[in-house]
Amino acid sequence: MLEKIRITLLFIVCATIPVMAQDGTIYPLEAPDEPNAIPLNTGGVEDQPASESWFRQWGDPMARNITEATLTPFIPDPSKATGAAVIVAPGGGFRWLSMGNEGWEVAEALKEKGIAAFVLKYRLMPTPESLDDFSDWMNRPRPAPAASTDNTENESQPARPQWDLTNQQEDAEAAYKMIVGRAKEWGVDTDRIGMIGFSAGAGLTMHCTLHSDMMKLAFIGPIYGGMGPVEVPENAPPMFNVIATDDFLFRGQFGVIGSWYEAGIPVEFHLYQNGGHGFGLGNPGRTSNRWFDAFIHWLEVNKMLDAQVN
């Protein structure tokens, strides 16, 4: 029998408890079949000795040490297809990806609304090969984020790491290029390709919006991402933004919303009373649970779901 290892906070590594338990315990998980995943052939990850591995937490499958990016299409039935498409970027601090909660489940929901969805499994920063060591790293002592009442970072708290997102941007651009190249096959209107992301995926969505000259996104949806102000490009797309007041990334900031507003670009912002962080499509009893309905309504009002393909 594998040794059961208990650690503090939310993370307990144990291979002897059933993997379907719905709690914060981290369990080993055999890599699931991804028969529809299409390699993006964007390269590997420098200084990455570990191979891709999976674990389960809160009942959701998570992947880490991803070195080969893929794109998984979720194509709606032609009878309900709208022609719109969305690249879905799961989150996980650029160290792992919440593939179920913030990837496949969201893509299925979009597909049911007639929207072609594409889950981007992008390359990640290295983590320890051992699941035990990964858990120890995850559970390392970290200072609590300080509250902020304006749009600036609190000077008393450490600066957030500035990730080099070259690999991740290349993966997103390759995904966009593939969707455009196969638009006719997948029933996609290339003028209505958007991108939504969750947590770190929201950060990647914003990064591509600010820095990619190749991706011509029609709309973006950063879901519980960073809220600091940014320099908005002249051709930035309309933005749908969601976060909850009890999310540690919120901290009373409205910077990115103000940036879009001041740039004169359409922005819709939903600040929910509760929901925490990482709620995906929603958790029981939270006000944030209706965000997806609001997102679909926003797309409809902005004529992104007209059933036609250019």
Instruction: Give the Cα separation of 182 and 24 in Å (integer).
Output: 39
The architecture (CATH level 2) of 37-49+66-132+162-301 comes to: 3-Layer(aba) Sandwich (3.40)
| Per-residue pLDDT tens over the stretch 197-250 | 999 999 999 999 999 999 999 999 999 999 999 999 999 999 999 999 999 999
Residue 58's pLDDT is 87
pTM of the model: 0.88
| 173 has pLDDT over 50 | yes
Q: Please tell me which residue, 157 or 52, carries the higher pLDDT value.
A: 52
Q: Which residues of 166-189 are buried (b: 16+ CB within 10 A; e: fewer)?
A: ebbbbbbbbbbebbeeebeebbbb
Residue 105's pLDDT is 98
Task: Judge contact between 96 and 138, C-beta under 8 A.
Answer: no
Instruction: Give the Cα separation of 90 and 216 in Å (integer).
Output: 20
Q: Please tell me which residue, 59 or 62, carries the higher pLDDT value.
A: 62
Residue 206's pLDDT is 98
| 282 has pLDDT over 50 | yes
Instruction: Give the Cα separation of 92 and 102 in Å (integer).
Output: 10
Nearest to 242 by CA among 269, 261, 206, 279: 269
| Per-residue pLDDT tens over the stretch 110-167 | 999 999 999 999 999 999 999 988 888 777 776 654 443 333 344 333 445 577 999 9
Average pLDDT rounded to a whole number, residues 63-79: 97
| 22 has pLDDT over 80 | no
Residue 142's pLDDT is 62
| 264 has pLDDT over 80 | yes
Helix or strand (DSSP H, E) at 88: strand 85-89
Average pLDDT rounded to a whole number, residues 187-202: 98
Q: Please tell me which residue, 51 or 16, carries the higher pLDDT value.
A: 51
Question: Could you give the percent of the chain with pLDDT greater than 70?
Answer: 85
Q: Taking each helix axis from N to C terminus, what angle separates 200-211 and 166-181, rounded to the nearest 10 degrees?
A: 70
Instruction: Give the Cα separation of 110 and 104 in Å (integer).
Output: 10
Mean pLDDT for the chain overall: 87
Task: Judge contact between 206 and 239, C-beta under 8 A.
Answer: no
| Per-residue pLDDT tens over the stretch 288-302 | 999 999 999 999 999
